[in-house]
Amino acid sequence: MHCQDPITVLSVGDIMLGEGIQRLRRGVRTAWTGKKVEQLLGHLSPLFKASDLCFGNLECMLGPLRPANLLSQIYIGDPAHLPGLRGLGFTHLSLANNHILEQGLATAQATKSLVASAGITPCCGPNPTRSFLGGLAVDLFAFNLIHDTPHFGFYRHEITQADLDAIQNSDAQVKIISVHWGHEYSQYPSPEQVELAHRLAEAGASLVLGHHPHVVQGIEAYGGAIIAYSLGNFVFDMNWSEETRSSMILQTETRGGKTRVVELRHLRQDDIFVPQPLPALPDARILDDPLRFYRQPDGAYVKYRDQRLKRSRLRAIVYLLKNFHRVHSKTWQVLISKRLPTLRTGQSPTSATL
């Protein structure tokens, strides 16, 4: 029997407090040094305070920098911002993603401990993470389906029938599924993502929250659930295109086993990577579509996916070249060192590259 009291959930996309390869000493960590989250994100506080649970995907590790090794500085955020995120309203952060283990299991475990110490629930493994809101049970299942690094059991790296059964058998009033999946820079979910999302909803999920593509994808109501295929970059140093600057804040309400959208806000990051609410973007048609399926013949999605990836990486390189005077002198060295093994083996570069 479902409790009739509503539970409101606010969800954002990727949160990266460190710096990517192309933004070494020019990215989020540098731009936010000496600034408080209250200063940076305080304008969003009314949205966060209006929700019972606030969720995001923490797409980085946390800890001190090691200046002697530039590669060790990639995707390392400042843990000093965690209390501010908690003060803003964040209650849960997923650590099940393809960057959390880039510098080993010990760093990932340290990040998990730092998040928990700040009063935020880290979600990675084992599933589910159970929380109680006013006596009502909420289960959050976190999965990472992007396998750039060995998982070491830190998170669930696949979704099997056993996982679907666990979701179905959960007695929680609200079941939230966080999935790191899909293809970078593709504005459509793949047919496989749509099929899996529907299976999750059919298993009893209240809310399916996708991340990893770094751009906004569609939102769908399906079988009493809300599915957000990708909420985009909430905070990330990918400011070379409008698509990678953009994200959405999704507020939902679950009552009696049914979830509905309460509010959907479009955001655009400014030049110091702070998300600013927008009434509409120039490409608002793309964001305002209730769902963007790729409506082309079977097999065409793969070609579209590859074209989007190449186009976005080219944009990033062009942006770097145009802003050469503002790029750290070691960035090119790091980029080349990351790509050399790829050139030797002929394999595709991982998502850590441009």
What percent of the chain lies above the pLDDT cut of 90?
65
What pLDDT is stored for residue 324 in this prediction? 61
> Where would I find the beta strands (DSSP E) of the chain?
7-15, 53-58, 61-62, 76-77, 92-94, 121-123, 129-133, 136-144, 174-180, 207-211, 219-222, 225-228, 233-235, 246-255, 258-269, 275-278
The Cα–Cα gap between 125 and 137 comes to 18
Q: Which of 203, 260, 196, 199 is nearest to 9 (CA)?
A: 260
What pLDDT is stored for residue 341 in this prediction? 42
Angle formed by the axes of helices 161-169 and 191-202, to 10°?
Answer: 40
Q: pLDDT tens for residues 183-208?
A: 999 988 998 999 999 999 999 999 99
Place of tokens 């769902």: 291
Phi, psi of 252 (to 5 degrees): -125, 160
Domain boundaries, the chain: 7-300
pTM for this prediction? 0.87
Q: pLDDT tens for residues 241-260?
A: 899 999 999 999 999 889 99
What pLDDT is stored for residue 353 in this prediction? 35
CATH of 7-300, one of 3.60.10.10, 3.30.70.380, 3.60.21.10, 3.40.50.620: 3.60.21.10
Q: pLDDT tens for residues 149-175?
A: 889 999 999 999 999 999 999 999 999
